[in-house]
């Protein structure tokens, strides 16, 4: 295991070559690090801005051996990386951050909810579902409407279905492919908030101001930050973030999505053990953005400041919305972040724009 903090010139490995990996690589480069990406897609968005890319599956033994040998620390950009891959790297002596435990917890919605409630970060009521009979029992206990989600995978609204009547249980069970799932009670929330937080190897933590999120079709469309929240809500969100970080013995940046029920009462929707879409506003609203913060954390550097110096409206550009790039680039209050993806498929995240306003 290398000595920390890692000096400039060290190599950081990132598993995953999408836009988050790309922005992590760009942040690492600013701090003097080299970055190697592992991704099965040749010329991935992250690979094209990095020192190199290993083109292989995320669980390829040879590729993992190479990553462990050439990188002083290995991290990941999305939570569907096999936890076993991170375990293989750690067992081989590589420094891994966040650790495999965070992936295991975040990859299974039932395990995630059990963990969150155990550390004092409460969720909505839920019921594990492994069969149609389980689903019927859950609906009887939780009532309707309720949302049925696959236990594993699924993001941006995929792998889930709302159930408005117990009569549609069989159809809902079929709609998710009759896979292991979790039934969640409906959260009677005012709005959705999120908190981006970081923890270093020494247990130091840093928390960014909250963001308020607006979704469309199950996909995040806009984040407004810093969100207008009272002191009680802010304190509770920070306490939840710290409980999650400490409970996982976490190293790196994490995103925690929250349901705001009002009067300082929050419920955790889910956690993402990585830099997060709702934290993109920090690129233009804070001195140290979430991507640099993650690199600082995994490299053992001091965590950077999280105070906002501007108010930001972050908007995702999906599919052919990216064709607005020329018009957006001409706006004096907008900063455009393009992901370098070749194909603008419907619903695909192609870029985001941060509209910056004075506090």
Residue 254 sits at the vertex; the CA angle it makes with 248 and 258, to the nearest 5 degrees, is 100
Q: What is the mean pLDDT of the chain?
A: 96
The Cα–Cα gap between 188 and 38 comes to 41
| The predicted structure's pLDDT at residue 218 | 83
Torsion, Cα 100 103 109 112, to 10 degrees, reads: 60
Residue 196's pLDDT is what? 98
* Residue 155 pLDDT class (50, 70, 90 cuts): low
Given pLDDT bands bounded at 50, 70 and 90, which one contains residue 258?
Answer: very high
Omega before 61 cis (within 30°)? no
Mean pLDDT of the 59-87 span: 96
No. of helices (H) and no. of strands (E), the chain:
11, 17
Asked if the model's pLDDT at residue 1 lies above 70, the reply is no
> Among 173, 160, 161, which Cα is nearest to 132's?
173
Contact yes or no for 55/33 (Cβ under 8 A): no
What is the CATH class of 125-185? alpha beta
The CATH class given to the 191-357 domain equals: alpha beta
C-alpha to C-alpha distance for 79 and 18, rounded to whole angstroms: 12
Q: Give the integer Cα–Cα distance in Å for 84 and 293.
A: 26
Q: What share of the chain is helix, strand, coil (3-state, %, to 5)?
A: 35, 30, 40
CATH ID of 11-96, from 3.30.300.30, 2.60.40.1180, 3.90.180.10, 3.40.50.20: 3.40.50.20
What's the pTM value of the predicted model, to 2 decimals? 0.96
Residues 41-54 have pLDDT tens digits of 999 999 999 999 99
The predicted-structure confidence for 277-321, as pLDDT tens digits, reads as follows: 999 999 999 999 999 999 999 999 999 999 999 999 999 999 999
Q: pLDDT tens across 333-347, in order?
A: 999 999 999 999 999
Contacts 24+ apart (CB under 8 A), 95-101: 95/1, 95/2, 97/73, 97/201, 97/251, 97/252, 97/297, 97/298, 98/248, 98/250, 98/251, 98/252, 98/254, 98/273, 98/274, 99/248, 99/249, 99/250, 99/251, 101/248, 101/249
Average pLDDT over residues 175-186: 96
Per-residue pLDDT at 359: 84
Give me the residue spans of the domains in the chain: 11-96, 125-185, 191-357
In this prediction, residues 127-149 reach a mean pLDDT of: 97
What's residue 133's pLDDT? 97
């Amino acid at each position: 295991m290398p000595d920390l903090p890692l000096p400039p010139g060290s190599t950081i490995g990132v598993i995953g070559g999408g836009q988050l990996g790309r922005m992590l690589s760009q942040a690492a480069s600013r701090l003097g690090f080299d970055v190697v990406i592992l991704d099965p897609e040749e010329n991935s968005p992250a690979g094209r801005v990095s020192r190199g890319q290993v083109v292989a599956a995320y669980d390829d033994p040879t590729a993992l051996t190479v990553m462990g040998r050439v990188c002083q620390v290995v991290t990941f950009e999305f939570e569907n990386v096999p936890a076993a891959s991170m375990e293989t790297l750690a067992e081989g002596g590589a420094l891994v951050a966040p650790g495999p435990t965070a992936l295991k917890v975040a990859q299974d919605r039932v395990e995630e909810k059990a963990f969150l409630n155990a550390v004092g970060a409460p969720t909505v009521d839920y019921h594990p579902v492994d069969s149609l009979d389980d689903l019927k029992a859950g609906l009887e206990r939780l009532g309707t409407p309720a949302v049925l989600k696959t236990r594993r995978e699924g993001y941006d609204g995929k792998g889930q279905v709302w159930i408005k009547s117990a009569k549609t249980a069989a159809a809902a069970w079929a709609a998710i492919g009759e896979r292991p799932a979790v039934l969640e009670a409906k959260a009677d929330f005012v709005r959705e908030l999120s908190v981006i937080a970081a923890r270093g190897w020494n247990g130091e933590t840093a928390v960014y101001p909250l963001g308020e999120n607006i979704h469309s079709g199950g996909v995040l469309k806009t984040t407004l930050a810093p969100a207008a929240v009272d002191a009680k809500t802010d304190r509770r969100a920070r306490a939840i973030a710290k409980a999650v970080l400490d409970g996982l013995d976490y190293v790196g940046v994490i995103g925690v999505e929250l349901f705001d029920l009002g009067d300082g009462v929050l419920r955790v929707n889910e956690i993402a053990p990585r830099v997060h879409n709702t934290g993109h506003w920090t690129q233009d609203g804070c001195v140290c953005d979430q991507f640099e913060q993650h690199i600082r954390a995994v490299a053992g550097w001091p965590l950077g400041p999280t105070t906002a110096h501007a108010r930001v409206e972050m908007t995702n550009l999906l599919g052919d919305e990216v064709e607005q790039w020329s018009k957006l680039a001409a706006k004096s209050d907008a900063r455009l972040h393009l992901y370098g993806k070749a194909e603008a498929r419907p619903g695909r995240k192609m870029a985001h724009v941060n509209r910056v306003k004075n506090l």
